[in-house]
Structure 1
Amino acid sequence: MSHYIIGIDIGTTSTKAVLFTPQGEAVCKHLVEYPLLTPVPGAAEQDPEEIFNAVVTTIREVMANSGIDPKALLGIGFSSAMHSLIAVNEQGKPLTKSITWADNRSAKWAEQLKQGRGHEIYLRTGTPIHSMSPLCKLIWLKNEHPELFSQAAKFISIKEFVFYQFLQEYAIDYSLAGAMGLLNMQTLDWDAEALEVAGISAERLSRLVPTTEQFCGMNADFAAKLGILPETPLIIGASDGVLSNLGVGAIAPGIFAVTIGTSGAIRAVVDRPIADPEERLFCYPLTEKYWVVGGAVNNGGLILRWMRDRFADAEVATAKQLGQESYDIMMQIASSVPPGANGLIFHPYLMGERSPLWNAQARGSFVGLSMSHTRAHFIRAVLEGILLNLQLVLDALESFVGSAQRIQATGGFARSPLWRQMLADVFNREIAVPESYESSCLGAALLGLLGLGKIEDLEGTAEYMGETYRHSPDPEAVKTYQQMIPLYARLLQALKPEYSALASLQEGFKDGFS
């Protein structure tokens, strides 16, 4: 009998499940999307029950559509977006929505912590002090919603919520715990000072387990809904960011992973926990042996969606008429103007920014506008601005862990030949794009195989990755971007002191003055 494993990724905008062979070949996949809820300014939440239902649906559909015998399923490995926080009561019922990484309501408290004990906590935990961090979300809840804070029996992530529904047990892997701002990297235990600052005890958090930990004994009713056997092992897995590195074969020294999906990130793997004295980078565990260092940005493909939804009605209409994707039409328009967008520079900070700024009050800007600029220049400037911002993160990462010898790229952006080539030109490096865009799902499956003892280690997993595209830098485009990068960075430094004033001004308009 052939055997299979499912890798499932609980993401910010969708949950994906992919059925793989033990050799990493994708057999079947299913995706369920869900909305990001923004009921008040700064909020970015999701419905935990809706996401749990998406997990159930994706697994059930993969099992049904593949037609495999449930006995052939070795297990299910899990990936999940980082930094989510849900308060639950004694019965495990949510008292809040799932507060996502994009929620900015704790920004004021993050800034206060930065001015106080934040640096020392960052050095021990590897999680930058920022509103994305559950540590800062806990401080916000404690101070602004004290009744709810005191009612909560546990504070958990969306993956913990899913596991609790399946198993009636609270457990968190080292990887997701490492992204909470509460885990001491050296001891792999909850950090006493971080807990004190958050105002909680370890009893209000889940049991810490390795990323390869297996769980069996799923509720029989849920197993029947999923189309699997109750004894099927669930391997707790890790966060989507670190698993993306594994899923694109970027765990050896000198191999960096670039991901551009809704958000974006650049990451490299090291063999021990390290923290950046300048607080530009994160450090999260993949396993006790592998640690992922890098910088994440809020503003990736989400900004292209914003451009489409607000300014590309004509392109959307044209795409419908031609039966094409609206993004493909936008890319065609962007390709009609040369690299550099005729000197139009875009800072993509529409949702604040994590690396390299770690500033929730950062705001976006177009700089260099002239009468010569057209819609095509704006679209191209948006694409370039996202990549130029990632170049700053790459500079920080290389200054910390050494030069990238090879860059593996993945994420939704990889579907665009133009954007892939732009990345090679901005970075002035050869870019390889592996066969599977679903790198976090593949990473979850590979980590699951390790946990099940089906592979001995992760060193050889790069052979599981095919390679679909390879892009070399275009020398003429490189010249243009090499001129733009220092100007982009200087303009950023010039605007940084005004971000707080801009944010205050915008808050004033929300409150009613004009």
Structure 2
Amino acid sequence: MNDDVWLGIDLGTQGARALAVTASGDVAGAGAAELAGRRDGPRHEQDPEHWWEAVAAACARALRDVPPGSVRAVAVDATSGTILLTDRDGNPLTPALMYDDTRAAAHVERVNEAGAEVWRRLGYRRMQPAWALPKLLWLLEHTPVPPGGARLAHQSDFVNRRLTGHPVAADLSNALKTGADLIAERWPGDVLDALGVPDGLLPPLVRSGTPLGTVCAAAAAATGIPAGTPVVAGATDGCAAQLGTGRLAPGSWNSVLGTTLVLKGVTDRPVHDPFGAVYSHKAPDGRWLPGGASSTGAGALTRDFPGRDLADLDRRAASREPATALAYPLVPAGERFPFLAPDARGFRIGGTGDEADDYAAVLQGVAYIERLCFDHLDLLGAPTGGDLTLTGGAARSAYWVQLRADVLGRPVVLPSRSEPALGAAVLAASPGRPVAEVAARMVAVRTVVDPRADRVGRFDDAYLRLVGELEGRGWLPAATADRARERTGMKGARR
């Protein structure tokens, strides 16, 4: 292929993915490399040097058949809230604390007291234990700082510095959980001073889609990306997934179901959540990308049904609608969205011991939480009536996609490609052009799945049972539970 291509790099929990894409969305090359981490209770770490090794390997594979002169730019997306400390030359001083590491829980109250006014204005009201600013305080408390001082790096910052060979700005998307004021587009100096964050520790801030520099000679040798290729500021993986759907009109949403569930939409203004579960990123065009990350997801399948033929279980689960069992399938402990409950624990009620029924209960339980997310967003006044795209690994299960459409009671859109790396490629191609225009050209729709007419209302009773269980255990706010019941009743009335 001799067409111009843009390279998107996605850093996930389990691996790095690189995708070389033309302006019309054709894939010129793809590559991947695995990553591993260390989990122990609240601890979840990765070695930052392994990120670079995985990125280099994935890029080399993606560009194997791409003419060097056709690569126009590269952008990186990464997990939200993953940080480390480096020295002034960009070398790691600490392991990376991953997006769901919660060792900093003891610092959250102080962070929320110091930043209360800023967090309120930004709409999310309070930070959570896994967010980056509490983790930064934990790292500073536990890390000897060298004479030259330390620097904070988000996951994408670390890789972008390796790509360019010099210090880089952080994108606003990744900086949200570190306390960036996304309205003013700057760090809140008074808050950081009150928390004792040293001057010079934090990088400058730019919007996603801003050029950061060019690929240096050392990075070109390691990755196969031609030296001099522009490096463009990326985004979190959730924001990149939203961009990669091509659905960027207000009211559109994307549900990424992988190990856990991430829901993100497009609005003209930030969404304010008095319960602290929804937070709003800033899009490259100045619109907002509100959403949240649940601790439920497909990770419950790999944990609870190891080595099983999931396609066979899908077929068997189709006759259990609804399942006898009722499941709340948390992957790690604690819930983050659609409600904030650090003490939440997964459960299954009424199991029969039948494997297919237990499996069906997990699929349905995740779909119920997805539905509850939309009920909570409706409570907050967010527009939810636009297109809903489904992406992530679970979108490969035709049965689960259909089940989710049935439980949600709305059509779902499946893009031809469903991965954050495509959204990163959109950002790479966006400097000087409207990002929505770039995305519309790069992203194609594979199919639209409608809810089945004979499933209308079939899951309502089980859904409301789960709502009641979550409320009764003190995790789900009464206002969200009431809105779920109200909207279910309205659907029933329309029937």
Match of 1:61 in 2: 61
Q: Following superposition of structure 1 onto structure 2, how do residues 9-408 of structure 1 map, counting pairs within 5 Å? A: 9-38=10-39, 40-64=40-64, 67-110=65-108, 113=111, 116-117=113-114, 119-126=116-123, 128-143=126-141, 145=142, 147=144, 153-166=150-163, 167-180=165-178, 182-309=179-306, 313=307, 315=308, 326-335=309-318, 337-348=319-330, 350-369=332-351, 372-399=352-379, 400-408=381-389
Q: Distance in 1 between matches of 2:63 and 2:407?
A: 42
Match of 1:449 in 2: 429
Q: Distance in 2 between matches of 1:461 and 1:427?
A: 26
CA deviations 1:168-211 (Å, max 9, x no partner) are 2132111111232x111221000134413542045101121221
Q: In the superposition, relative to structure 1, how do residues 328 and 281 fare at CA in structure 2: closer, same or farther (>3 Å)?
A: same
**Percent identity of equivalent pairs:** 26
Q: Which runs of 5+ in 2 are unaligned?
A: 477-495
Structure 1 residue 117 displacement after superposition? 4.8
Query: Contact 1:347–1:389 (CA<8 Å) still a contact in 2?
Result: no
Q: Distance in 1 between matches of 2:384 and 2:148?
A: 49
Q: In the superposition, relative to structure 1, how do residues 203 and 19 fare at CA in structure 2: closer, same or farther (>3 Å)?
A: same
- The letter for the 1-side match of 2:436 is L
Number of residue pairs the alignment of both structures matches: 472
Q: Following superposition of structure 1 onto structure 2, how do residues 411-490 of structure 1 map, counting pairs within 5 Å? A: 411-438=392-419, 440-451=420-431, 453=432, 455-459=433-437, 461-490=439-468
Query: Contact 1:266–1:394 (CA<8 Å) still a contact in 2?
Result: no
Structure 1 residue 140 displacement after superposition? 2.9
Structure 1 residue 213 displacement after superposition? 1.9
Structure 1 residue 405 displacement after superposition? 2.9
Q: Distance in 1 between matches of 2:470 and 2:236?
A: 30
Structure 1 residue 220 displacement after superposition? 1.0
Match of 1:323 in 2: none
Q: Distance in 1 between matches of 2:100 and 2:148?
A: 24
CA deviations 1:289-315 (Å, max 9, x no partner) are 221011211221211111222xxx5x3
Q: In the superposition, relative to structure 1, how do residues 225 and 425 fare at CA in structure 2: closer, same or farther (>3 Å)?
A: same
Match of 2:391 among 394, 410, 416: 410
Query: Contact 1:126–1:185 (CA<8 Å) still a contact in 2?
Result: no
Q: Distance in 2 between matches of 1:149 and 1:264?
A: 39
Q: In the superposition, relative to structure 1, how do residues 450 and 104 fare at CA in structure 2: closer, same or farther (>3 Å)?
A: same
Query: Contact 2:76–2:160 (CA<8 Å) still a contact in 1?
Result: no
Match of 1:319 in 2: none
Q: Distance in 2 between matches of 1:119 and 1:480?
A: 43
Structure 1 residue 436 displacement after superposition? 0.3
Query: Contact 1:190–1:202 (CA<8 Å) still a contact in 2?
Result: no
Q: In the superposition, relative to structure 1, how do residues 362 and 349 fare at CA in structure 2: closer, same or farther (>3 Å)?
A: farther
CA deviations 1:472-506 (Å, max 9, x no partner) are 112443322211222211100112369xxxxxxxx
TM-score w.r.t. length of structure 1? 0.86
Q: Which runs of 5+ in 1 are unaligned?
A: 316-325, 499-514
TM-score w.r.t. length of structure 2? 0.89
Q: Distance in 1 between matches of 2:181 and 2:24?
A: 35
Q: CA RMSD in A?
A: 2.4
Q: Distance in 1 between matches of 2:292 and 2:74?
A: 28
Q: In the superposition, relative to structure 1, how do residues 215 and 111 fare at CA in structure 2: closer, same or farther (>3 Å)?
A: closer
- The letter for the 1-side match of 2:469 is L
Q: Distance in 2 between matches of 1:132 and 1:112?
A: 14
Deviates more, 1:51-60 or 1:351-360: 351-360
SS at match of 2:119: helix
Query: Contact 2:409–2:456 (CA<8 Å) still a contact in 1?
Result: yes
Structure number with higher helix proportion = 1
Q: In the superposition, relative to structure 1, how do residues 172 and 486 fare at CA in structure 2: closer, same or farther (>3 Å)?
A: same
